[in-house]
Amino acid sequence: MDLSLRLSEDMKQAMKSKDKFKLSTIRMVRSAIQNVEIDTKRTLNDDEVLEILGREIKQRKDALHEFEKANRFDLVDTLKEELDILLEYLPAQLSEEEIKAIVRETIQETGATSKADMGKLMAALMPKVKGRSDGKLVNAIVQQHLQ
């Protein structure tokens, strides 16, 4: 099912079940998607919607870290719930072992041998793991392999 369509259907379901929290979370994401659609004057495909979802999740994870440092546990709980809802729409995440295998394969493809080749390696690697892994984890694994 198209991701935008799934978001719409889940929003309708949240309205019917009177799940105000899920409804507001989905509305925030749909609003971000619609803003991009208005700016680009076209309908987004699933990859672009996934990119927006990833950006929304990253924003919440960054805010979560800041709220934890500030001892704002009321906001931490809210953000965790939002993250749980948003993570449902991402494809299955790769395990650390799967990421390591992809990194090794990409190192062989690109011939990267040192940290100087990291940009070239990351450019080849990120499309393979986009939406299925955390960029920070991928970066850390690449750094381990290039030492």
Residue 84 has pLDDT above 70, yes or no: yes
Helices (H), 1-147: 3-16, 20-40, 46-69, 73-87, 96-110, 118-129, 135-145
Residue 115 has pLDDT above 90, yes or no: no
Of 128, 112, 127, which is closest to residue 142 (Cα–Cα)? 112
More confident residue, 137 or 28: 28
Residue 140 has pLDDT above 80, yes or no: yes
Q: What is the mean pLDDT of the chain?
A: 89
* % of the chain residues with pLDDT over 70: 99
Residue 99 has pLDDT above 80, yes or no: yes
